[in-house]
Structure 1
Amino acid sequence: MAKQTKVVSIEETLWNAADKLRGSVESSEYKHVVLGLIFLKFASDKFKERQDELIAEGKEKYLEMVDFYTMKNVFFMPENARWSFIIENAKQDDIAIKIDTALTTVEKNNPSLKGALPDNYYTRLGLDVSKLSALLDTINNIDTLRDKQQDIVGRVYEYFLSKFAIAEGKGKGEFYTPKSIVNLIAEMLEPYKGKIYDPACGSGGMFVQSFKFIQAHQGNTKDVSIYGQEYTPTTYKLAKMNLAIRGISANLGAIAADTFGNDQHKDLKADFIMANPPFNQKEWRAATELTDDPRWAGYDVPPTSNANYAWILNMTAKLSENGVAGFILANGALSGGGDEYKIRRKLIENHLVEAIVVLPQDMFYTTNISVTLWFLNKNKKQRTVELNGKTKNYRNREKEILFMDLRQMGEPFEKKYTQFSADDIKKVCDTYHAWQQNTIDNIPEFCYAATLEEVAKKDFSLVPSKYIEFVNRDENIDFDEKMKSLQTEFADLLKAEAQSKTDLLTVFKELGYEIKL
């Protein structure tokens, strides 16, 4: 029988190539090393594609004119920045300098890339030339234009981030949002037109998915504008690169900055907010700072011990008259006392909380903590809205909150993780949008439309299990049959353990080190 050859993905191939840099570069840096090079390859491939178009049109005299590239949303690549030049010099001792020069040159020639590309990064790393050359050869074999629908930069970034998170253990590395969750948020919010904001934008995944949502539903991406903020300088650059490479114009603030301490969008009123802020962020402000911040106006000051409600109020303050927000928080924010209770109660009484959606476990690489999607809506009153050519008649939902439990949903992903299927997302969105327009039936273990009176009786807790009916499956289990099944399984485990013990003793005896028990 012929031996089957394992198909290795682009992401895995790149990881294996980058892993050869171990020793001179930490694994957490791999994504930055690889993505800068992937950017050069992608930009060069697009540039060459446009060059070939101009030649086919008989416009050879325009081949080195910047405008003939930018008009097609293609970065102009000076000769010393093109991938072909990099590959020709891949074995040279100064290849790191040439890569840094290429990135600097591209940025200078393309204003939309200002602040996006690493500055003298490869030179500073002091990479082994032979290992860097091998990585360049690997990237050279990737056809970045082969599949227009494949998000190579995003895929590689997510893969590298997840590999680092898995290798370093839960809670380590940067935090990012799995695609199926971002897709769910976008499908529920329907961000067709207006300003989209993410106060903790990471590498820009929420924005990319918003554009993909609009394109998938034949909307016009020119109808939206992007605003974001990111604290980490390297991730801020990645976000700018990630968006620029897709032709997405965005205002990410003048610099990488802390959203609380240095708000880059103080006067912004957003129509859509999508976010995955850091969970349970502690000591986010000094005890005497930000107590009079206008973002908390009308509410208690968020406690210094946890930033969850600071993120909520930051987003609440940024919503336009009809603005909606969808964001992820740890389950601890759903209940609890003190200042958080006071803020949560006021949010509910102000009719801002529209839906609470609890997610399955094991959806994130970096943590198995239970998390929840919050949906806020500045206008839950009856109104008619035009969405992408369709009319939606929203009913008044000010005295209702929809609770949804998705823990029975999801499909296996990379063996031990879970992601939503397309059918899962459709079911959730259909239910949510139906509830916005009409009353719906409550479904055990899935959804419940609670009145504000019910929420008040439960002391303003937003824990979905307090409202959604639970089905006790144990009622229909034959106890004797179940115990016999467990008895058999346990006996098999004990037999396997005994055999393993025997095998281990035999190995030691054969080596001349008999173990006496």
Structure 2
Amino acid sequence: MSINTQNLQSIINFIWTVADDVLINKFLENQYQDVILPMTVLRRLDLALEPTKDKVLQTHNEFKSKIDNVSGLLTSELHGSGLAFYNTSPYTMKKLLDDPKNIDANFLDYLNGFSENVQDIISKFKFRNQLNTFEETGITFSLIEKFCNPKVELSPDKISPMAMGYMFEDLIRRFNEKTNAAAGRHFTPREIIELMTHLVYLPVKDKIQKGTFLVYDPCAGSGAMLTQSKLFATNPEGEIKSTATFHLYGQENTGEMYATCKSDMLLKNEDPDKIKFGSTLSEYGFDPDLKFNFMLTNPPYGTTWKQDQENLNVGTGKKVEIKDRRFNLKIKNFKGELEETCLTSRSNDGQLMFMLHMLSKMKDPKDGGSRIASIHNGSALFTGDAGSSESGIRQYILENDLLECIIQLPNDMFYNTGITTYIWLLTNVKEERRKGKVQLINASSEGFYQKMRKSLGSKRVELTANHIQIIQEMCFAFEENEYSKIFDNEDFGFYQITVHQPERDEKGNIIKDTKGKPKSDSTLKDTENVPMKESIADYFKREVLPFAPGAWYDKTKMKVGFEIPFTKYFYQYEPLRALSDIAADIMTLEQETENLLKEIVE
């Protein structure tokens, strides 16, 4: 389902004006979102409960003294809200406006009337911290009145969770731009989510028509990937039309986004307890043995995970060791022997750690296996030398034949960054024709996007339904062309050897050790990356010895490396212009300049 962003803009613009009309001189600019975002969520919940308000109050008043736990009745279709939450306060936001003199006390009563799952949302927004300022500055009435304006159409019947996620992300982007703050994350455009869901579900659509499936996002944000993916799979008018049950799981460590995600899960009658708060890497909120059929995410990249390292009780030595089965994995050494290795990326970029986390949550292939779509920047492809954890993570993925495809997206696709991004598709149930292979798709050129009439932050281009169709068909076809290339897993591997050259004395004689072997000159020491498919001896003879006679390498001290030099595979050489053409252009310019000078002088 696509979103008409232009229709939403009028609502977003109105909400945005609330800050300037009501909060100005009462709150600092960097505090505006602490008021606007929770008020938007509360009004949305308020509108959802409005039709059943009287029924909920009647049930509550009748049974509160008779039953210890009345929650079941208050959420039931027959006696309550018919939703996973309720409010037992006599007030709605509109009714609060009927008593302006007591509105501060009544507003607190209204907040206290929400069920426990909404109390968690209010708590994560830290909204009660703002109430004293509301009362002291006398803005409570004006604020609530603004949000009750018909122009703020926030009813879940009119605004879907996906649209709500878009609104929130746009508001947060605006707040960050206003205060020159970095968003710290890259919100995912809805057309990218649509592409990801198609790539994850369509190849197995015949296998998910019935049954129960678990969908997971370890960096859930507003929850859009979860809700959109379920909608795509179960839409009765969609491509899959599945009647299966899909359970949505997610974790988010930013309070405001967790609160937003959980509120929309409540409104969609999803289980709010399947959305957890905290850092996925060090505070994983679910049973460690819980596995998922599908995983979609856009993890933070270029963002530190140092606090997670500390929380996981990492050693202080040079090599980071974490006693966690998610990150201790077996990869081959240069002898081809499996060795258990602690794979932990550098502390200033944890994106590949989320990858390892998801790989640990894959279902056994005997139980249907798992499919993963994850967005990353370029560093996930090549950062880290041979023997590094980043290289080791790529090695683990490729040695276990988990990588299906990587798709390069157009630049300027995201709201707060213009960098190059990639969708990684992984699975442990590859089709026979894909086994041992990796497909790379370059969808970054103009034929794969259209420019937006009006940019949103850094987002200047977008994918249309037709572009999504072209990309997914190229992926499913699994054929080579100008934009699609297919490789063996081993094509990305190499052995790093250290090249030594003999040490010489002042007369040019080779210095030898006590065993009569030439000593290595440390100033001439170098490394070579030998493609894994090549013979090291043949490579050395062809690429090294002609340029460094007498050189040698230590066969007992080699490292294994893996990288995916995406750009190299799609590089197209553009020959330099002929010198005669350049000379002709220069002569033309000189003649034009000479004529101009004559005109000026005359």
Q: Secondary structure at the match of 2:414?
A: coil
Note the C-alpha offset of 1:377: 0.7
Q: Is this contact kept in 2: 1:31–1:156, CA < 8 A?
A: no
Partner in structure 1 of residue 354 of structure 2: 311
Q: CA 1:211–1:114 in 2, change beyond 3 Å: closer, same or farther?
A: farther
**How far apart are 1:244 and its partner, in Å?**
1.1
Query: Among residues 380, 383, 393, which one is paired with 1:333 in the alignment?
Result: 380
Q: How does 1:72-91 map onto structure 2 within 5 Å?
A: 72-73=82-83, 75-89=85-99, 91=100
8 Å contact from structure 1 (residues 225, 250) kept in 2: no
State the secondary structure of the residue aligned to 1:320.
coil
Tell me whether 1:267 sits opposite 2:309 in the alignment.
Answer: no
Query: Per the alignment, in what secondary structure is the counterpart of residue 295 of structure 1?
Result: coil
Task: After TM superposition, give the deviation of residue 215 of structure 1 in Å.
Answer: 4.2
- 1:208 maps to which of 227, 235, 245: 227
Choose which of 104, 107, 111 in structure 2 pairs with 1:103: 111
Name which of 33, 44, 47 aligns with 1:45.
47
Residue of structure 1 in register with 2:195 after alignment = 184
1:372: Cα distance to partner? 1.5
Return 5+ residue gaps in structure 1 as ranges: 1-5, 55-59, 383-394, 492-517
Q: 2:487 aligns with which of 450, 460, 463?
A: 450
Paired residues of 2:83 and 2:267 also in contact (CA < 8 A): no
Give the match for residue 599 of structure 2.
none
Q: Does 1:401 align with 2:438?
A: yes
Counterpart mapping for 1:193-232 below 5 A: 194-216=213-235, 217=238, 219=241, 223-232=245-254
TM-score, scaled relative to structure 2: 0.66
* 1:3 matched residue in structure 2: none
Q: Deviations over 1:326-368 (max 9, x none)?
A: 1112211101312211221221111011111112222222222
Partner of 1:292: 323
C-alpha RMSD over aligned residues: 3.8
Matching residue within 411, 415, 426 for 2:450: 411
Q: Deviations over 1:428-468 (max 9, x none)?
A: 12222333xxxx2x221x22222224334486322322333
Q: CA deviation at 1:379?
A: 1.7
Which amino acid is 2:361 matched to? K
Structure 2 CA distance for partners of 1:181 and 1:170, relative to 1, 3 Å: farther
Could you tell me whether the CA contact under 8 Å between 1:275 and 1:328 is conserved in 2? Answer: yes
1:466 equivalent in alignment to 2:588:
no
Instruction: Name the CA distance, whole Å, in 1 between partners of 2:25 and 2:82.
Output: 42
Alignment of 1:237-248 (within 5 A): 237-248=259-270
> What's the offset of the Cα at 1:278?
1.3
Distance across 2 between alignment mates of 1:136 and 1:483: 68
1:483 and 1:26 map into 2 onto residues whose CA distance is 58
Residues 9-38 of structure 1: per-residue CA shift (max 9 Å, x gap): 000110111233134334454444234333
Q: How does 1:124-143 map to 2 (within 5 A)?
A: 124-126=132-134, 131-140=139-148, 141=150, 142-143=152-153
Shift of 1:160: 0.6
Q: State the SS of the aligned residue for 1:285.
A: helix
Query: Who wins on radius of gyration, i.e. which is larger?
Result: 2
Alpha-carbon distance change, 347 to 146 in structure 1, aligned in 2, over 3 angstroms: closer
Partner residue, 2:14: 13
1:366 corresponds in structure 2 to: 416
Matched letter for residue 120 of structure 2: G
SS at match of 2:572: coil
- 8 Å Cα contact 2:60-2:88 kept in structure 1: no
CA contact (8 A) 1:97 1:120 kept: no
Q: Tell me if structure 1 keeps the 8 A contact 2:184–2:303.
A: no
SS in 1 for 2:113: helix
One-letter amino acid of the structure 2 residue matched with residue 22 of structure 1: I
Distance of 1:7 and 1:302 partners within structure 2: 42
Q: Go from structure 1 to structure 2 and tell me whether the alpha carbon gap of 1:19 and 1:267 turns closer, same or farther (over 3 Å shift).
A: farther
Structure 2: runs of 5 or more not aligned: 1-6, 62-72, 203-207, 331-340, 494-530, 533-560, 594-602
Equivalent residue runs for 1:422-461 within 5 Å = 422-435=465-478, 440=479, 442-444=480-482, 446-456=483-493, 457=531, 460-461=562-563
CA distance in 2, matches of 1:103, 1:474: 69
SS in 1 for 2:393: helix
Instruction: Determine helix, strand or coil for the equivalent of 1:412.
Output: strand
Q: CA deviation at 1:70?
A: 5.1
Is the partner of 1:327 in helix, strand or coil?
strand
1:40, 1:82 within 8 Å by CA — same for their partners in 2? no
Shift of 1:373: 1.4
1:14/1:135 contact within 8 Å kept: no
**Is the partner of 1:401 in helix, strand or coil?**
strand
TM-score (norm 1): 0.76
Structure 2 partner of 1:153: 164
Q: Distance in 1 between matches of 2:486 and 2:120?
A: 47
1:79 CA displacement: 4.9
Contact 1:24 1:127 (8 Å CA) reproduced: no
Q: Which amino acid aligns with 1:326?
A: A
Q: Secondary structure in 1 aligned to 2:252?
A: coil
> Sequence identity of aligned pairs in percent?
19
Equivalent of 1:233 in 229, 248, 255: 255
Tell me the distance in 2 between the aligned counterparts of 1:166 and 1:398.
Answer: 46
The Cα offsets for residues 39-89 of structure 1, whole Å up to 9 and x where unpaired, read as 34333433344579x9xxxxx998987333657437544353422223324
Find the aligned partners of 1:223 and 1:7 in 2 and give their Cα distance.
30
- 2:404 aligns to what SS in structure 1? strand
Report the CA distance shift for 1:434/1:25 in structure 2 as closer, same or farther (over 3 A): farther
Amino acid at match of 2:267: I
In the alignment, the residues of structure 2 paired with residue 70 and residue 448 of structure 1 have an alpha-carbon distance, to the nearest angstrom, of 57
